[in-house]
Structure 1
Amino acid sequence: MVLQLAGPVTLLKSGISFPRGLSQHVWEKIGMQLHEASNSSAWWLADWLIFGETAFSGRYREAISRTGLDYQTLRNYAWIARKFPHERRVESLSIAHHAEVAGLAGPEQDYWLRKAAEEHWSRNRLRREVRASLAEREAAEGGTQEPSAGSEQAAAIHVELAPEQFDSCVRIADSYGLSVNEWVAHVLRSATHDFAPDLRVVAQ
């Protein structure tokens, strides 16, 4: 696929060459096109991997190694893409925006993405708003509900990982802009929503 940019520019793998006399209007339009392509590329890679996993099971990982793409990064993208079918993706928002709400229930995902698009929030702003909302909800539920006798108030999960596995978790969490604890809670929250919707997971 060749990216068609406005104006007489030369697009190379190593950069873009701009001719003298290029108007500001065209220059701005090129910037918007590059921004859109940057936001879309992660979705393209995610859908590419999902198709390969289905169509070429058992062979796609070898093919990925020949492309030079990072498999774990692609897996991260694919995880988000599976949470958001094409018709639920908000084109004006990046895949990183969608990652911030991927662990929520569907209606909540749609609400926050719509809000972020309408207010032109950055990924970090969306993260802050979602976390503040969840914190308020936790506080409200904690203040209005009395624990039943013998009920457990908190639970800790201890997971033993080999050093290389832990390093992999750190890299994945960092790719989302999260701490390891936050990322683990994010993954568990998503899993518990699928299999046990009433279970709440909070990063410690």
Structure 2
Amino acid sequence: MTAITIAPMVPSDQSVALALPPDTDLETWRAIGQTIAAQHRNTGWLVGDWLNFGKAQFGNQAEMFAVELLGEPKSARQLAALCSAFPSDRRNPALSQQHYLAVRDLPAPDRERLLSQAEAERLTPRDLKYRAAARKAEIAPPLIPEADLDYAELMAIVRAWNRASSGPRREFAELMSESDYGIIEA
């Protein structure tokens, strides 16, 4: 395999392209693709670590510069938070930031187990997200304690009533009074 430099060719300020020689062989082409994919996977970590360092060293100035430079403050902050949640020694280069986002809200043992599964089974971030959601459902307390179900139902009716305009409210009140607290036939 011949050595090839991966350098973007910039024809104008509006576009960036990778220009490969026409005689590039399959092995070289694949190696270039692997290098680009690895760089792409790691860019988010680099941005997050860069922003965390800047915030620690320079405070609000770093955040303002990051917004000016990156344009998307929410995604930069999300990457910074992800980097804080997963220090560099806890990151697996075989997995993307999306894999880590999928398990971020789980307890550490569950995160580690699911990330190991993701690598071993070559799970997509989407598949890992489904597994993480299933695990969250297993360990989360019920949204409404059983003793409060009547109250929750009452509040659902009140919210529906308050969202309705006066015409449907009148109709509903008539149907309710005719039902004698039984099933309303509408």
Which structure: greater helix fraction? Answer: 2
Change beyond 3 A, Cα 1:66–1:155: farther
Residue aligning to 2:42: 40
Residue aligning to 1:119: 121
Q: Secondary structure at the match of 1:19?
A: coil
Residue aligning to 2:179: none
Aligned pairs for 1:4-153 within 5 A: 7-12=4-9, 14-136=16-138
Taking CA–CA contacts closer than 8 Å with sequence separation of 6 or more, which of the two structures ends up with the larger relative contact order?
Answer: 1
**1:11 aligned partner, one-letter code:** P
Residue aligning to 2:162: none
Q: Distance in 2 between matches of 1:153 and 1:55?
A: 50
CA RMSD of aligned residues (A): 2.7
Unaligned runs of 5+ in 1: 1-5, 157-204
**2:99 aligned partner, one-letter code:** H
Q: Deviations over 1:104-124 (max 9, x none)?
A: 111111111011011111001
Q: Distance in 2 between matches of 1:155 and 1:18?
A: 67
Q: Distance in 2 between matches of 1:100 and 1:154?
A: 34
Q: Secondary structure at the match of 2:18?
A: strand
Q: Distance in 2 between matches of 1:24 and 1:115?
A: 31
Unaligned runs of 5+ in 2: 11-15, 153-186
Equivalent pairs counted in the alignment come to: 143
Q: Distance in 2 between matches of 1:154 and 1:112?
A: 37
Change beyond 3 A, Cα 1:59–1:154: farther
Aligned-residue sequence identity (percent) comes to 23
**Is the Cα contact below 8 Å between 1:10 and 1:18 reproduced in 2?**
no
**Is the Cα contact below 8 Å between 1:8 and 1:18 reproduced in 2?**
no
Q: Structure 1 residue 50: deviation in Å?
A: 0.3
Q: Distance in 2 between matches of 1:113 and 1:155?
A: 40
Aligned pairs for 1:170-185 within 5 A: none
Change beyond 3 A, Cα 1:24–1:132: same
Q: Distance in 1 between matches of 2:9 and 2:73?
A: 25
**1:84 aligned partner, one-letter code:** F
Q: Deviations over 1:35-68 (max 9, x none)?
A: 1111100100000100000000132133224424
Q: 4+ runs of 1 displaced by more than 6 Å?
A: 153-156
**Is the Cα contact below 8 Å between 1:96 and 1:123 reproduced in 2?**
yes
Q: Deviations over 1:111-161 (max 9, x none)?
A: 1101101111100111122223444556xx87xxxx7xx9557999xxxxx
Q: Distance in 1 between matches of 2:94 and 2:139?
A: 28
**Is the Cα contact below 8 Å between 1:46 and 1:74 reproduced in 2?**
yes
**Is the Cα contact below 8 Å between 2:6 and 2:32 reproduced in 1?**
no
